Chains A and B, each alone.
Chain A
């Protein structure tokens, strides 16, 4: 995998990677029958997913489009 030269696409790639990691943590926590699973799910999985979503939203508003 290579990162795109386009800043918007690169941010979307980073956002996607954060989201995949968050989803992976979330999936693993579903199969762990211990109270710590909920803490990890929200503390790490939720954090990664939240960062991924925020990065996606940030990438939408931060890239300046040329005036037409």
Chain B
């Protein structure tokens, strides 16, 4: 869910107004009440605004719309609308197997200690490349490292469709290998059609829910 901006804007406006009072009437700080007011409006409230603002931006950066706001990512956004259940990302997005408003973040954050922090740092690197570097063509964009089964198993482990699926159990060695990340979910000829932005022009796209 998108973080609410109105409470933060209201707090910023109130804080700025109170600071203006002190800037135009600095003599107020001579009294004890004025000193307490100065502590609140020159220290405490700005810190709260900064904290809430950081929280807002971090929450905002997890939104699908945020990821797709860069033109390099727009083909990946279109790939979520491919009208073919064999397309992994599209099937997850369209069937709400991942929260639609946080689709990118749900699959592309490492579910490990510091996974979120690492994702943010990589995001900063993306901003750098977008504005100051040479962004690659969308079809040439690759993950930093192969997609880890851990990210799939975060949701699918223990799910009946995963544990008892006919294909998953056709070979008794398959599920243990998948769970141990010895056999990748996405690059082993099983669920290997993920975004495939290079062939997107040939795909029929779903128009979305009414």
Contact = CB atoms under 8 A, between A and B. Distances in A.
A26 B5 CA distance: 12
A24 B127 contact: no
Nearest to A39: B127
B20 A20 contact: yes
A30 B131 contact: no
Interface in B54-78: 54, 56-57, 60-61, 65-66, 69-70
A35 B26 contact: no
Nearest to B22: A16
A39 B124 contact: yes
A17 B20 CA distance: 8
Interface in B30-65: 38, 41-43, 46-47, 49-50, 53-54, 56-57, 60-61, 65
Interface residues of B, number: 39
Q: Which label, helix, strand, loop or mixed, suits the secondary structure of the B interface?
A: helix
Contacts of A15: 42
B187 to A, nearest CB: 29
Contacts of A45: 50, 53
Contacts of B57: 29, 37-38, 41-42
A12 B26 contact: yes
Interface residues of A, number: 38
Interface of B: 5, 8-9, 12-13, 15-16, 19-20, 22-24, 26-27, 29, 38, 41-43, 46-47, 49-50, 53-54, 56-57, 60-61, 65-66, 69-70, 123-124, 126-127, 130-131
Given A9-B26, A22-B46, A42-B54, 18 more contacts: A4-B26, A9-B29, A16-B42, A17-B23, A19-B16, A19-B42, A26-B12, A26-B49, A29-B57, A35-B66, A38-B60, A38-B61, A38-B127, A39-B124, A41-B54, A50-B50, A53-B43, A56-B42
